[in-house]
Amino acid sequence: MLKQALVATLLLAALPVAADTPQQLIAGYAAQAASNQPGFVPSAERGRQLYMNRFALADKMPNCAACHTEKPVAPGTHVITGKAIQPLAPAANPERLTSSSKVEKWFKRNCSEVVGRECTAAEKADFLQFLANGG
């Protein structure tokens, strides 16, 4: 019995981390945001504004849309390297928003580069809501 339990535990431990869903990711960031802003509700419209806003810290990369195009369901192009970028919106690219660590990594990199600081949990929830809605 004990052996069986041990085997089951080992099997579970060997499984890859369960994939996240866009809704789970949004809920996670929304919960974090609500701790500072009681009653916080993610807004796709605020997310769109963040996506389109021209922070213009870098000439070639003034906003998200510079590489990801104005429609996140469309494929983009890296403005400096020319590399093709798969669409950001899960509706066009189901691989998007399925890994919390990946989402966090790219928020960290791109917010510091384009926005000039880390994004807040509220901004992340809004942004993902915008993408989940298909832009």
Partner 1 sequence: MRHSPRLIAIAALCLAALPALADKLRLPATPNAAWQEECTSCHLGYPPSLLTAANWRQMMGSLDRHFGANARLDPGTRDQILVFLEQNASTKETRQSPSLRISETPWFRHEHDEVPARAWSDPAVKSAANCGACHRGAAKGNYDEHDVVLPVAARR
Smallest distance, partner 1 to C-beta of residue 26, A: 23
Binding site for partner 1 (CB under 8 A): 58, 78-83, 109, 112-113
Backbone φ and ψ for 112, nearest 5 degrees, come out as: -65, -35
For residues 116 and 109, what is the distance between their CA atoms, to the nearest angstrom? 10
CB of 128 to partner 1, least distance (A): 19
- Which CB, 33 or 119, lies closer to partner 1? 119
Q: At what angle do helices 22-36 and 100-110 cross, to 10 degrees?
A: 60
Please tell me whether residue 131 adopts helix, strand or coil conformation. helix
Q: Which CB atom, from 6 or from 94, has the smaller least distance to partner 1? A: 94
Give the shortest CB-28-to-partner 1 separation in angstroms: 21
